[in-house]
């Protein structure tokens, strides 16, 4: 390819020697006296941005050879400790080498720094494509000055080493399927696209619009000082714009010093290959992308040193298998006028959040795992995944909502500041909302600082392996779950430090029809005020040692055709009581029960059905099926007018004296019922 002519003829073995007149001077350990210094250079001229190597020889050869280097004008030429001279600006500078053994001995050479040749001018419509050549050798010299907007009609190929400077507000536009941009530099000959002035926003951008040419490629390219110019529509500015479904490769690129973002991608655009890119020193942030594009910011790339090190994310659907990695200070999901969530959508949406990822959500935004989608937020103890609000404090965003029964996971994940509003189908707001029949595995995670609950789980939800979590600092309580879900909560998790240290259980239409065990969570279960209370139908319900269950209003615990086991101990008794006053009590209807070390406090607000007396425990037989209770040690009641009520029929109990007074049906004897 054509090149500029050398800027100076070689000066064959240019030798400049300055030798001191005094014949005596410092000697080396062998006794040699330094008599002078010579500087040897092939040429005495260097171009701006180029480097010239000088060598110094101390005389005689037996004398110490160490020298120091200095320039008398570093604005023109700089020299390092090895004698490498770099041209900075046109002019002349005197470079001196001084003996370290005898600072009175030195030599100097005058170096001329030559100006760059005048660049070629570019601009306008490039019909049929074009090639920009690296026709000037020094990398610091501009090959092309772009004075007008460039619009390609075909392929624009930019050769390695090209430096192009764009005039104010000028943009390089690659538009349409037939147009392409191949800017493929190398590590030693990068391409630089810059402004004619070194300031943010001086020129427009490199804009790929609807261009999906097979050769679209930006590799070892620096794009700097863009973000200006004028664009139609609501385009988010950046040094590199990819819109209209355009596709390109972006490798080893640097997008820096822009007045907006380094990279801006509109929904539908894509990067075919990406890696080892650097987004730095941009005013608005490293990149602006859609949720479906954030994975293009990969683990080999960096996004620090910007005025704001947050990746701005527009809400849209993640429909494929993608991974988000830590990038700068994280991701900011921005509020859209017509959308308040970004969805991991089924059937193929599969979003993995790598350890250390941080996502902040603007006001009232949410993250949704739609039916068929999958979320795997898998942090570590040292690098948790964090889902939070853009503003600090409770209720700054809605939270995470899961409608999918896929293998969703939260491991070492912090979800905080949610609960700004309820979720679809939910009666209460929560940091994490799990919809009817959905599932999520939550381990070693923290659900905190919400305006509602840490966790809200609807009917039919599965929380497999729920373990070692902390639900804390939530305004309404640790969790609000359906009765059928409460047994998924584990005792190794923490539920304290909330506005109310409770697990609220919504039991309306949530009947326990499968064998269930509730464990001691360190906080009470509160059965919220519903027309039914807590109902067990045809199943075994076991309550473990130390559990406390509180009932709101005139409701109770009713077991029909099932088995009730309240297994307290002397040191960890079970307590059933009203949350805010009297409650109904327990009924065993055609059921059996075993109560050991159980305190039934404040029951008897009303009777079960239209007959009988209000009581702490009521036994009712029906359809020929008996009811029986074994009242073991430590079982007692306070507050009820009747401790144990026997309804007519085959109703029996052992240990009757532990729940007094006892009510016997008319016409029956004590011995018929109390065994």
Residue 56 scores a pLDDT above 70: yes
Residue 1 scores a pLDDT above 60: no
Same domain, 138 and 239: yes
Same domain, 102 and 139: no
CA dist 388 and 394 (Å) reads: 10
Per the structure, the count of domains in the chain is 4
Q: Are strands 55-59 and 51-53 parallel, antiparallel or unpaired?
A: unpaired
CA dist 439 and 432 (Å) reads: 12
Q: Which residue, of 114, 137, 162, is where some domain finishes?
A: 114
* Lowest mean pLDDT across 292-301, 530-539, 594-603: 530-539
Residue 14 scores a pLDDT above 60: no
Q: Which residue, of 501, 516, 546, is where some domain finishes?
A: 501
Residue 421 vs residue 426, higher pLDDT: 421
Q: Which token pair is 328? A: 């700068």
Given the structure tokens 């419509």, which residue do they identify?
Answer: 125
Same domain, 555 and 673: yes
Q: What is the mean pLDDT of residues 351-359?
A: 98
Same domain, 544 and 602: yes
pLDDT, one tens digit per residue, over 370-396 is 999 999 999 999 999 999 999 999 999
184: CB partners within 8 A, 6+ apart: 158, 160, 191, 217, 218, 219, 220
pLDDT, one tens digit per residue, over 510-566 is 899 999 999 999 999 999 978 879 999 999 999 999 999 999 999 999 999 999 999
Q: What is the pLDDT of residue 510?
A: 87
CA dist 181 and 152 (Å) reads: 8
Same domain, 475 and 593: no
* Domain assignment present for 332: no
Same domain, 109 and 121: no
CA dist 396 and 415 (Å) reads: 12
Q: What is the mean pLDDT of residues 441-452?
A: 97
Given the structure tokens 């899961």, which residue do they identify?
Answer: 402
Q: Which residue, of 114, 133, 163, is where some domain finishes?
A: 114
Same domain, 233 and 348: no
Task: Tell me the pLDDT band of 253, cut-offs 50, 70 and 90.
Answer: very high
Beta bridge partners of 403: none
CA 587 to centroid of chain Cα atoms: 50
Residue 4 scores a pLDDT above 80: no
* Domain assignment present for 580: yes
State what percent of residues in the chain have pLDDT above 70: 94
* Domain assignment present for 8: no
pLDDT, one tens digit per residue, over 480-492 is 999 999 999 999 9
CA dist 298 and 322 (Å) reads: 11
Same domain, 218 and 283: yes
Show the domain range for 649: 507-675
| CA distances to 3, 30, 36, 38, 63 from 60, in Å | 42, 12, 8, 10, 5
H helix count then E strand count, the chain? 1, 65
Same domain, 272 and 171: yes
CA dist 77 and 70 (Å) reads: 10
Cα atoms in the Cβ-side hemisphere of radius 13 Å centred on 465: 12
Same domain, 349 and 443: yes
* Domain assignment present for 609: yes
* Domain assignment present for 472: yes
Q: Are strands 84-87 and 77-79 parallel, antiparallel or unpaired?
A: antiparallel
Q: Which token pair is 146? A: 């772009």
Q: Which of 269, 272, 305, 301 is nearest to 288 (CA)?
A: 269
Same domain, 278 and 265: yes
* Domain assignment present for 542: yes
Same domain, 250 and 265: yes
* Domain assignment present for 334: no
pLDDT, one tens digit per residue, over 31-43 is 589 999 999 876 7
- As a whole number of Å, the end-to-end CA separation of the chain is 109
CA torsion sign, 45 to 48 to 52 to 54? positive
Q: Which token pair is 465? A: 């392996």
* Domain assignment present for 357: yes
Helix (H) or strand (E) holding 542: strand 540-543
Given the structure tokens 């004897």, which residue do they identify?
Answer: 669
CATH code of the domain containing 36: 2.60.40.1080
Residue 327 scores a pLDDT above 90: yes
pLDDT, one tens digit per residue, over 633-669 is 999 999 999 999 999 999 999 999 999 999 999 999 9
């Amino acid at each position: 390819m054509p090149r500029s002519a050398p800027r100076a003829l070689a000066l064959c073995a240019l030798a400049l020697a300055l030798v001191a007149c005094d014949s005596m001077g410092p000697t080396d350990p062998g006794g040699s006296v330094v008599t002078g210094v010579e500087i040897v250079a092939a040429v005495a001229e260097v171009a701006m941005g180029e480097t010239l190597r000088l060598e110094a020889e101390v005389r005689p050869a037996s004398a110490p050879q160490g020298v120091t280097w200095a320039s008398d004008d570093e604005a023109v030429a700089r020299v390092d400790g090895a004698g490498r001279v770099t041209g900075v600006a046109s002019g002349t500078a005197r470079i001196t080498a001084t003996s370290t053994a005898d600072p009175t001995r030195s030599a100097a050479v005058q170096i001329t720094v030559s100006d760059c040749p005048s660049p070629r001018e570019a601009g306008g419509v490039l019909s049929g494509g074009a090639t920009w050549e690296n026709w000037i050798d020094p990398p610091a010299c501009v090959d092309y000055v772009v004075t007008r907007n460039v619009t390609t009609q075909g392929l624009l190929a930019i050769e390695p080493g090209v430096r192009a400077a764009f005039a104010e507000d000028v943009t390089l536009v690659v538009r349409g399927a037939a147009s392409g941009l191949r800017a493929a530099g190398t590590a030693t000959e990068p391409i630089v696209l810059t402004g004619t002035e070194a300031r943010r926003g001086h020129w427009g951008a490199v804009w790929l619009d609807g261009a999906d040419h097979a050769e679209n490629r930006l590799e070892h390219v620096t794009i700097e000082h863009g973000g200006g110019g004028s664009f139609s529509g609501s385009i988010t500015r950046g040094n590199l714009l990819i819109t209209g479904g355009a596709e390109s490769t972006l490798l080893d690129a640097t997008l820096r010093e822009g007045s907006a973002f380094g990279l801006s991608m509109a929904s539908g655009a894509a990067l075919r290959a990406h890696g080892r890119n650097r987004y730095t020193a941009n005013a608005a942030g490293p990149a602006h992308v859609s949720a479906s594009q954030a994975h293009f910011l990969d683990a080999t790339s960096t996004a620090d040193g910007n005025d704001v090190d947050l990746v701005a994310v527009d809400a849209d659907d993640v429909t494929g298998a993608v991974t988000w990695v830590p990038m700068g200070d994280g991701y900011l999901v921005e509020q859209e006028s017509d959308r308040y969530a970004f969805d991991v959508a089924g059937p193929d949406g599969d979003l993995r959040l790598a350890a250390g990822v941080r996502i902040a959500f603007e006001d009232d935004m949410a993250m949704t795992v739609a039916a068929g989608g999958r979320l795997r937020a898998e942090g570590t103890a040292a690098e948790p995944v964090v889902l939070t609000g853009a503003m600090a404090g409770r209720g700054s965003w809605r939270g995470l909502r899961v409608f999918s029964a896929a293998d969703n996971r939260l491991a070492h994940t912090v979800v905080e500041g949610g609960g700004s509003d309820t979720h679809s189908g939910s009666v209460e707001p929560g940091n994490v909302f799990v919809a009817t029949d959905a599932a999520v595995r939550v381990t070693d995670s923290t659900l905190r600082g919400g305006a509602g609950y840490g966790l809200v789980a609807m009917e039919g939800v599965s929380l497999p392996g729920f373990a070692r979590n902390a639900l804390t600092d939530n305004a309404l309580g640790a969790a609000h779950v359906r009765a059928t879900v409460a047994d998924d909560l584990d005792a190794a998790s923490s539920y304290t430090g909330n506005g109310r240290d409770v697990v609220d259980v919504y039991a309306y239409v949530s009947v326990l029809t499968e064998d269930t065990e509730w464990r001691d969570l360190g906080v009470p279960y509160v059965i919220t005020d519903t027309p039914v209370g807590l109902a067990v139908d045809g199943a075994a319900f076991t309550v473990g040692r130390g559990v406390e269950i509180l009932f709101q209003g005139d409701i109770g615990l009713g077991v029909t055709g099932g088995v009730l086991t309240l297994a307290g101990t002397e040191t960890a008794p079970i307590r059933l009581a009203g949350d805010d006053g009297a409650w109904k009590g327990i009924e065993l209807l055609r059921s059996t029960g075993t109560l050991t070390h159980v305190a039934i406090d404040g029951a008897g607000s009303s009777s079960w059905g239209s007959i009988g007396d209000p009581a702490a425990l009521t036994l009712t037989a029906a359809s020929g099926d008996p009811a029986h209770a074994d009242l073991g040690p430590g079982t007692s009641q306070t507050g009820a007018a009747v401790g144990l009520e026997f309804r007519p029929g085959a109703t029996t109990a052992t240990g009757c004296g532990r729940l007094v007074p006892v009510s016997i049906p008319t016409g029956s004897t004590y011995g018929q019922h109390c065994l």
